[in-house]
Chains A and B, each alone.
Chain A
Amino acid sequence: MRIATVWRLGIKELWGLVRTPALLVLILFAFSLQIYVAATATPFTLNKAPISIVDEDVSPLSARIATAFYLPWFTPPQTITLSQMNRRMDAGIDTFTLVIPAGFQRDLLAGAEPAIQLNVDATRMTQAFTGAGYVQAIVAGEVAEFARRYRAEEVPPVDLVLRARFNPELNPGWFGAMMEVVNNVSLLSVILAGAALIRERERGTIEHLLVMPVTPVEIMVGKIWPMALVVLGAVLFSMTIVVQAWLDIPVAGSLWLLMAGAALQLFATTSLGILLATVAGSMPQFGLLLMLVLFPLQILAGGLTPVENMPDALRWAMSAAPDTHFVSLAQAVLFRGAGLDTVWPQLASLAAIGTAFFALSLWRFRKSLG
């Protein structure tokens, strides 16, 4: 492999990007506006959770409970009737409906242990889980406050001092923005590298290269480095200008450590792009293949949903995906301020996966050239 050849071929790819303004605009969009939207649009888990109350008690206590739900966590509760409840929940208007039965306050004070019913739309997973806990805590708090006036005993004064580290307000915008950057790294690099190869094949220029003193590995590396460089530049721009300066989101750890991780991730994903391009015969096939590979990678890597509870087989399979390690590295560095001593296993995994992907796609690429 000669460096000069690889350099030249790479410069050519960069020109190709420059001469396709649509692509440049899309790259810029993906690392600026899209990040901004992700940061500002992602709601808090409990943001305006729609709740209604069926108040059959109409007592001071039930009124007190109703006032305990307020913005931004809950929409101001609507008071509805039992018959309205089903219709509203079916149509997805409410996620929660609280049913306070007649005589609730009386029974409570009489120690009859009355029941309040909380209906949760369990098809809305995020709100259902978190929200049910919140509703329970809020109702319990109000009831306890109310009951205290009628009771002498004190519960043991043990306070739970709960603090969230790394993102004290649990602002989902922080997570949304930075994970969007991370996700776009693989999205862009796979598309750019793979499409560059397919374009070259569809135009017949690859044949031209092969009669010149250029080897397949030079062609492949000549596609990998410029695409990786472009994305790396975009990440740096996005993290410093968009995330830190514009959105004012603090970055806990070293950006350079993140960039090192991103470089290794790009090594793996650009190789993956080439691999997919050797499998796909044409651009439409490549587009479909992308959907098949990219979406599971992105959705299951931990950048969108927690990975802890994925089925074991899937978790095991996903550990072969570079994204899983990169997402974990990025979370450690960006939020928890972890250093090299903490994230070296991820870096090592990325390097190993990248090498394997590179070798595999080089083998496929050589084979596809006949």
Chain B
Amino acid sequence: MSEGEKPALAASVRGLGHSFKTARALDDVTLDFPAGRMLGLIGPDGVGKSTLLSLIAGARKVQEGEVTALGADMRDAAARAGVGPRIAYMPQGLGKNLYPTLSVFENVDFFGRLFGHARAERERRIRELLAATGLDPFPDRPAGKLSGGMKQKLGLCCALIHDPDLLILDEPTTGVDPLARRQFWDLIGGIRAGRPGMGVIVATAYMEEAAGFDWLVAMDEGKVLATGTPAELQRRTGTDSLDDAFIALMPEHKRSRHRGVVIPPRPADGQETAIEAEGLTIRFGDFTAVDDVSFRIPRGEIFGFLGSNGCGKTTTMKMLTGLLPASEGTARLFGHEVDPRDIETRRRVGYMSQSFSLYSELTVRQNLDLHARLFSLPPQAIPARIEEMARRFDLLEIMDALPDALPLGVTQRLSLAVAMIHAPEMLILDEPTSGVDPIARDALWQSFADLSREDGVTIFISTHFMNEAERCDRISLMHAGKVLVSDTPAAIVEQRGCKDLEEAFVSYLEEAIGESGRAAKAAAPDLAPVIAEYDHHAAGRRRILDPLRVMSYARREALELRRDPIRASFAFIGSLVLLFVLGYGISMDVRELPFAVLDHDRTTASRDYTLDIAGSPWFTERPPLASHADLDRRMRSGELSLAIEIPPGFARDVAAGRDVGVGAWIDGAMPSRAETAQGYVQGLHAHWLQSRARELYGEAALAADFRLETRFRYNPGVESLVAMVPAVIALVLLFIPAMLSTLAIVREKDLGSIVNLYVTPVTRLEFLLGKQLPYVGLSMLNFATLTAFAVFVQGVPFTGSLAAFVVGGLLYAVAATGLGLFISSFMNSQIAAIFFTTIVTMLLAVQYSGMIDPVASMEGSAAAIGAINPASHFVTIARGAFSKALGFADLAGSFAALAAAGPALLALSVLFLRKQAR
């Protein structure tokens, strides 16, 4: 606002354009959002509402045009960082920016720490926010276990913790039940009353919500159709409801497709039962999710299932499809008891689950085709059927698009098309219209009506939209696993004496919930005093590295690690198992190699020659060879590693002093083993020659003799274990920390919580360091147990400086996790990240580390990699500390290289990681 240009604007965009690959999301949008008002974005799915909001929030990189939010130019990183703390952004999707394994309190606490609140301040705010949102009874419940409405309230708490001047909400109430929705808006109202200066920009699919906003922007196909107050829009279009106004604003070609939903009355005949449930009950542990639910749905009926989030609707549906076995009671489809093994019944049922259930790797057409074929539709009928479904669900233009590129509403339509591709007699639809715009929703309902009335398809549907519930033949109202009421919509309204279904619904629920619902509502206005004056400049401190924010991320990551005991114990026990198995298993010494003799001479002399070999510890003799063919065969099969051929007349020729050649064949398939064997054979041959000489010439033969005293240093017993264990420690401490830290970040990208990096004041360096710290800690813990295991269990002597080894371990932990961060900075899919990390760590730790072949002996690129490889330096340090009695001074070179590796990798990660989505 310091620029003094129109201070009354919350945000403004000029000539804004945005494209994703081929799709144009926004096209030359120019808008001014007045400050301190409640602003709504309405429009069909996929017209650029979400893109516009994420651009204003700074979560996405501006491609064309200008975006100004609270007076700051969002194209400029410094301005964005400065204004960031004053903007709060809740992305689309229930709980998208929350951490599911963290508790309610911990989620809010994380954001509080991120914005640098002091402890007392933070706790006061959290307490009051939770009280105001009605979340205070369960601060310890994991966010992932909350119902949709509660998730959104929690998201709001997280957004409000830093008193934003601009609140950006992307479809915050999509998929939320009416009661929770009402509470949510009450809450927003309370906050606005306390902070009149705060602007709110909301994208919504609910016209009844939008009708209560101050000012609306209607959008279509990346363009603004109209702006104004709800009343203005209605006046301009000459309509009396916002729903109609919205439809009237649509361009002609879209509007023409819209017709009011007409559902003819159901013919009274055909009382054949399609779905029947009797006393359905399911328990998870001591929690009863569905409690004694019974209903009977005749063929061709549209049966609506309503209820708050998490009341057991989805669970009931899953029991009907056979996905979950009922604890008690029975469910019958078409008179057959539900049996997961019953393939024939499945052909008659179409199911659409609430969670996204399409193959994102297949195009729209391929998705339809796959499902048609899986249902074994006749191949010649498939193209026509796909065409028909595409037309019915308005998918014709996007047949070759990938689902990920489509807006939520369109994918919902595709999911429906997929569920209906095989013309089932029964449809079980779990919130099929969540997030779908009004025009498309009406179109869907028209097809339900047609299916029910014309084709006699039974439709079992759950929904949060009251106008949809009113269209059902009968509805059931569920709460906390129990059916509260089950009747026709009209009868329910009448029974309750309410003016409409929504009111009846809310009153049923409030009665069931008792006091808690009202308590939450009453608390909302109390929020105003919470929101005191707050110094945004403190939160937005322009510092590259704020230890508080680093610790906030580190703390959260450590909590998540603790909540996932399997991951932590895999890391922990896995390290020990690897050390144990590899330490014992990798053995470079070669003993008891099988050999056989092809003896053409068969004399005492020839026998004497081979006995020397057989008597050595390196070779064991196998039955003699009969012929060259036998030799060939047995060497080919790998049975023999060495074959000796003694020529005919060996004894005679040796005695006569004639030249004799003894043949030796070594299996060269594995060169390292062959080399060792070769050395042994030569040594044995030399020994034999010497003893022959001694026999011939007596002691005089020793005249030119000398002794070669070989001292195997550092590992006098030449034990593989002593040589390998330090190297295996290096290997394990690279694999596991690198994998953990890679996935810690790539997972956030995959699941969406990376958006918190985009929109909070945390810098890339802080984010990465915060992610890295817990894994460095885990790595050090592993380091300690591995070292103890090696010394006390495996009995590897530790001779050097423990202090030096610990420092080396710490530097290595930083480098190994740094490697993971680096990999994650350019990887977006978890599979590819696992794959890449496996290959890279395997190469670095096994092939280029000096574990088996010394780095000093490597060639070309291998030598270069070996020189900068943290693993090779740590192998030197580990072997030095374990076996060579070395300390800091002796290993200075390796320490220097290792100390440089960590920061270098971190710097590279900062460089590659994006602070905004594209």
Contacts and interface: CB of A to CB of B under 8 A. Distances in A.
Interface string B870-885: 0000001001100110
Interface string B725-746: 0100001000110011011100
Question: Which 5 pairs between the two chains have the least Cβ-Cβ distance?
Answer: A133-B679, A147-B704, A41-B862, A164-B668, A167-B668
A91 to B, nearest CB: 6
Given A125-B723, A159-B659, A136 B683 contact: yes
Contact of B723 (A116, A124, A164): A124
- Output the residue of B325, B670, B859 with the most chain A CB within 10 A: B670
Interface stretch (B241-249, B357-365, B488-496, B783-791): B357-365
Interface stretch (B23-31, B219-227, B347-355): B347-355
A308 B736 CA distance: 29
Given A288-B570, A309-B590, 5 more contacts: A22-B828, A41-B859, A150-B704, A213-B374, A299-B586
Contacts of A208: 351, 353, 357
Interface in B214-237: none
12 contacts: A9-B370, A19-B361, A37-B861, A153-B700, A160-B681, A164-B667, A166-B668, A284-B744, A289-B574, A292-B578, A300-B582, A311-B585
Interface in B351-401: 351, 353, 355-362, 366, 370-371, 373-376
B743 A309 contact: no
Contacts of B843: 34
Interface in B815-832: 827-832
Interface string A129-165: 1101111110110011011101101111111111111
Given A15-B362, A122-B718, A308 B584 contact: no
A365 to B, nearest CB: 14
B591 interface: yes
A46 to B, nearest CB: 7
B857 A47 contact: yes
A311 to B, nearest CB: 6
A137 B683 contact: yes
Contacts of A294: 838
A137 B680 CA distance: 10
Contacts, number: 489
A127 interface: yes
Interface stretch (A257-265, A329-337, A354-362): A329-337
Contacts of B682: 133, 137, 160, 162
Contacts of B589: 125, 129, 309
Say which size band chain B's interface belongs to: 35 or more
A161 B664 contact: yes
Interface stretch (A76-84, A106-114, A228-236): A106-114
Contacts of A328: 638
B381 to A, nearest CB: 15
A352 B682 CA distance: 42
A170 B702 CA distance: 34
A60 interface: no
Interface stretch (B120-128, B707-715, B901-909): B707-715
Contact of B856 (A2, A92, A123): A92
B366 A90 contact: no
A212 B375 contact: yes
Contacts of A298: 842
Interface in B674-695: 674-676, 678-683, 685-686, 688-689, 692-693
Interface string A4-16: 1100110110011
Interface string A189-201: 0010001000100
A166 B241 CA distance: 86
Given A156-B689, A175-B671, A40 B860 contact: yes
Contacts of A126: 588, 672, 852-853
Nearest to A345: B637
Contacts of A348: none
B735 A295 contact: yes
A133 B674 CA distance: 13
B893 interface: yes
Given A128-B712, A157-B658, A310 B361 contact: no
A211 B668 contact: no
Contacts of A49: 857
A130 B679 contact: yes
B383 to A, nearest CB: 15
Contacts of B879: 92, 123
- Output the residue of A2, A126, A289, A334 with the most chain B CB within 10 A: A126
A4 B859 contact: no
- Output the residue of A12, A89, A328, A370 with the most chain B CB within 10 A: A12
A284 B574 contact: no
A8 B373 contact: yes
Contacts of A284: 564, 567, 739-740, 743-744, 747, 830
B707 A159 contact: no
A290 B570 contact: no
Contacts of A205: 357-359
A311 B724 CA distance: 14
Interface string A23-49: 100100110001001101111111111
Contacts of A90: 880, 884, 886, 890
A245 interface: no
Interface in A322-351: 328, 331-332, 334-338, 342-343
A331 B590 contact: no
A207 interface: yes
Contact of B743 (A34, A132, A144, A287): A287
A261 to B, nearest CB: 14
B834 A191 contact: yes
B852 A305 contact: yes
A120 B834 contact: no
A115 B712 CA distance: 16
Contacts of A171: 671
B666 A165 contact: yes
A56 interface: no
A22 B832 contact: yes
A244 interface: no
A310 B359 contact: no
B250 interface: no
A50 B856 contact: yes
B587 A310 contact: yes
B715 A122 contact: yes
Contact of B839 (A9, A26, A129): A26
Interface string B841-876: 011001110101110111111100000000000001
B668 to A, nearest CB: 3
Contacts of A213: 343-344, 346-347, 374-376
Interface string B519-534: 0000000000000000
Interface stretch (B142-150, B316-324, B460-468): B316-324
A291 B728 CA distance: 13
B428 to A, nearest CB: 8
- Output the residue of A15, A45, A89, A108 with the most chain B CB within 10 A: A45
B905 to A, nearest CB: 19
A136 B876 contact: no
A225 interface: no
A187 interface: yes
Contacts of A2: 376
A191 B853 contact: no
A162 B709 contact: no
B545 interface: no
A336 B838 contact: no
A304 interface: yes
Interface string A233-261: 00000000000000000000000000000
Contact of B709 (A12, A116, A134): A116
- Output the residue of B585, B592, B716 with the most chain A CB within 10 A: B585
A124 B854 contact: yes
A170 B675 contact: yes
A5 B701 CA distance: 81
Given A284-B740, A299-B846, A300-B585, A174 B706 contact: no
